[in-house]
């Protein structure tokens, strides 16, 4: 491939790639043993928007921010005006809306899967309120993750809980309007350690299918067992028109929420490759919400987000460079080494010079991290926030 053709492909890939930032990635979050508080962490919703606005300002590919209803819209629909004002001020739009049915004490034994019908109703009401918030904000996706499950064998009726989930999710679906979608996320374990009600992509797929056509599956890359072939799941969901979006992060052991690509960049590349190859083969452009679900406890939060976004764009550009025609031929003729090398060649290409050129052609800095550091933003916000953060002492027990 000539260098100018490569550059053209990378430019096209960058133009079509957006990734959503999580509001919770800018606040102090911790492990189950406690939090290490960062003096510059966001302590208010406005600060989350301001920090996310920085990431978008320097990278140009993060126009939306995912919101958690309980953490970001504590007064429900009444908080919508606030969100809109902050979004406008910081050059962002509200992205996916995440109901929270896992923190309240009443959800101790589950939400939509709780054996108590009154609790199920309360969970459903909260999700329906979240749909309303989604409408008022003009957002599209309601993103659903459930902590539901049990810790000990025999303590819950797994089949009943499945049915209740089916009923609850269908009721949510019935409330969607316009181009809204609901995304069903799965996770094998944690916080429940014996059984989780939506434990894998098959369960999420069946529940989404039975809820209705606007329901799709959300793949959180950290929510798989070791060695699971995530790109195969992605390929199947694409083929079935059931891939709604991603929560990107990397992991070494479980749901570690580490920086995307920090442990296994080739896996992220393979996921992007399945998507690009599907697009090339079918001529379709599936509607996939790329979102980040990370909270950095040790790295500086804004810097880590810029690093994540940079990594995502690089891996996406590499996947765009795969020679699909050649690959298809090699697959058909079972030319294994040649087929595999199509992927490896693309993965090994240094896409950074072309991405820098692309950024500059849009009036943005070639190096977003350096530009952020030079802006002095962190030095400006830290003194204002550090006292508030220090006051948020936290302990495990
Ligand atoms: C879960 C899951 C959800 C996220 C919560 C906070 O593990 O990844 O997407 O909203 O954590
Ligand atoms: Mn997630
Ligand atoms: Mn998670």
Q: How many CA atoms lie within 13 A of 34 on its CB side?
A: 9
Q: Is the CB of 257 under 6 A from ligand 1?
A: no
Q: What is the rounded radius of gyration, in angstroms, for the C-alpha atoms of the chain?
A: 21
> What is the model's pLDDT at position 303?
98
Q: Are 10 and 317 in contact (CB under 8 A)?
A: yes
Alpha-carbon torsion (338, 343, 347, 349), positive or negative:
positive
Ligand nearest to the CA of 24: 1
Instruction: Summarize the confidence of residues 93-100 as an average pLDDT.
Output: 98
Q: Are 198 and 187 in contact (CB under 8 A)?
A: yes
Instruction: Give yes or no for residue 397 having a pLDDT over 80.
Output: no
Instruction: Summarize the confidence of residues 336-349 as an average pLDDT.
Output: 98
> What is the model's pLDDT at position 302?
98
Query: Whose CA is closest to 342, among 313, 320, 311?
Result: 320
Q: Is the CB of 220 under 6 A from ligand 1?
A: yes
- Binned at pLDDT 50, 70 and 90, residue 168 comes out as very high
Alpha helices in 18-116 (DSSP H): 45-59, 69-72, 80-89
243 backbone dihedrals φ, ψ, rounded to 5°: -90, 110
Going by alpha carbons, the residue nearest to atom 5 of ligand 1 is 145
Instruction: Give yes or no for residue 1 having a pLDDT over 90.
Output: no
- Binned at pLDDT 50, 70 and 90, residue 61 comes out as very high
> What is the model's pLDDT at position 32?
82
Instruction: Summarize the confidence of residues 98-124 as an average pLDDT.
Output: 98
Going by alpha carbons, the residue nearest to atom 7 of ligand 1 is 255
User: Using the 8-state DSSP alphabet, how is residue 258 labeled?
Assistant: B
Residue corresponding to tokens 């989930």: 165
pTM for this predicted structure: 0.98
Going by alpha carbons, the residue nearest to atom 10 of ligand 1 is 145
Q: Is the CB of 72 under 6 A from ligand 1?
A: no
Alpha-carbon torsion (133, 137, 140, 141), positive or negative:
negative
Q: Is the CB of 255 under 6 A from ligand 1?
A: yes
**Which tokens in the block code for residue 391?**
């006051």
Instruction: Summarize the confidence of residues 194-199 as an average pLDDT.
Output: 98
Instruction: Summarize the confidence of residues 218-228 as an average pLDDT.
Output: 97
- Among 27, 145, 193, which is best to mutate for testing ligand 1, by the most ligand atoms less than 8 A from CB? 145
Residue pLDDT, tens place only, 17-55: 999 999 999 999 888 888 889 999 999 999 999 999 999
Instruction: Give yes or no for residue 219 having a pLDDT over 80.
Output: yes
Instruction: Give yes or no for residue 110 having a pLDDT over 90.
Output: yes
Instruction: Give yes or no for residue 213 having a pLDDT over 90.
Output: yes
What are the residues whose beta carbon lies below 5 Å from ligand 3 (ion)?
Answer: 255
Instruction: Summarize the confidence of residues 322-345 as an average pLDDT.
Output: 98
> What is the model's pLDDT at position 94?
98
- Distances in whole angstroms, Cα of residue 346 to Cα of each of 45, 221, 314: 40, 22, 11
Instruction: Give yes or no for residue 395 having a pLDDT over 80.
Output: no
Contacts of 46 (CB under 8 A, 6+ apart): 86, 89
> What is the model's pLDDT at position 392?
80
Instruction: Summarize the confidence of residues 109-117 as an average pLDDT.
Output: 98
Instruction: Give yes or no for residue 79 having a pLDDT over 90.
Output: yes
> What is the model's pLDDT at position 206?
99
Q: Is the CB of 293 under 6 A from ligand 1?
A: yes
Between the CA of 362 and the centroid of ligand 1 the distance, in Å, is 34
Instruction: Summarize the confidence of residues 272-297 as an average pLDDT.
Output: 97
Ligand nearest to the CA of 248: 2
> What is the model's pLDDT at position 6?
97
> What is the model's pLDDT at position 33?
86
Q: pLDDT > 90: what percent of the chain? A: 95
Instruction: Summarize the confidence of residues 182-186 as an average pLDDT.
Output: 99
> What is the model's pLDDT at position 241?
98
> What is the model's pLDDT at position 5?
96
Residue pLDDT, tens place only, 235-275: 999 999 999 999 999 999 999 999 999 999 999 999 999 99
Going by alpha carbons, the residue nearest to atom 3 of ligand 1 is 145
Q: What mean pLDDT is reported for the chain? A: 97
Going by alpha carbons, the residue nearest to atom 9 of ligand 1 is 145
Going by alpha carbons, the residue nearest to atom 2 of ligand 1 is 145
> What is the model's pLDDT at position 47?
98
């Amino acid at each position: 491939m000539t260098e100018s053709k490569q550059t053209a492909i990378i430019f096209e890939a960058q133009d079509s790639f957006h990734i959503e930032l999580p509001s919770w990635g800018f606040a102090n979050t911790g492990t189950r043993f406690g939090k290490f508080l960062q003096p510059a962490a966001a302590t208010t919703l406005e600060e989350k928007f301001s920090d996310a606005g920085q990431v978008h300002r320097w990278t140009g590919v993060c126009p939306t921010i995912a919101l958690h209803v309980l953490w970001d819209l504590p007064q429900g629909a009444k908080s919508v005006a606030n969100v809109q004002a902050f979004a406008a001020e910081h050059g962002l739009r509200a992205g996916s809306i995440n109901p929270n049915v896992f923190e309240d004490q009443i959800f101790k034994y589950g939400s939509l899967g709780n054996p108590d019908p009154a609790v199920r109703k309360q969970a459903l009401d909260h999700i329906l309120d979240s749909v309303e918030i989604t409408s008022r904000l003009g957002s599209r996706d309601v993103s659903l993750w459930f902590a539901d499950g049990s810790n000990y064998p025999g303590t819950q009726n797994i089949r009943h809980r499945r049915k209740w989930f089916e009923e609850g999710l269908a009721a949510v679906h019935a409330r969607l309007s316009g181009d809204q979608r609901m995304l069903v996320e799965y996770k094998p374990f944690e916080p429940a350690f014996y059984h989780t009600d939506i434990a894998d992509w098959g369960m999420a797929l069946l529940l989404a299918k039975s809820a209705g056509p606007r329901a799709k599956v959300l793949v959180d890359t950290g929510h798989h067992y070791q060695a699971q072939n995530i790109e195969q799941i992605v390929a199947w969901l694409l083929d079935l028109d059931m891939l709604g979006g991603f929560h990107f992060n990397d992991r070494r052991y479980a749901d570690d929420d580490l920086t995307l690509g920090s442990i296994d960049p080739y896996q992220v590349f393979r996921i992007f490759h399945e998507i690009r190859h599907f697009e090339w083969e079918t001529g379709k452009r599936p509607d996939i919400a790329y979102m980040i679900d990370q909270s950095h406890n040790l790295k500086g939060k804004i810097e880590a987000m810029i690093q994540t976004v940079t990594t995502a764009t690089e891996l996406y550009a590499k996947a765009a460079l795969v020679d699909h025609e050649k690959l298809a031929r090699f697959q058909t003729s079972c030319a294994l080494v040649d087929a595999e090398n199509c992927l490896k060649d693309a993965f090994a290409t240094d896409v950074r010079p072309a991405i820098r050129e692309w950024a500059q052609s849009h009036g943005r800095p070639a190096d977003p991290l350096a530009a952020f550091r030079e802006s002095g933003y962190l030095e400006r916000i830290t003194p204002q926030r550090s006292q508030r953060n220090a006051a948020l002492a936290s302990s495990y027990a």
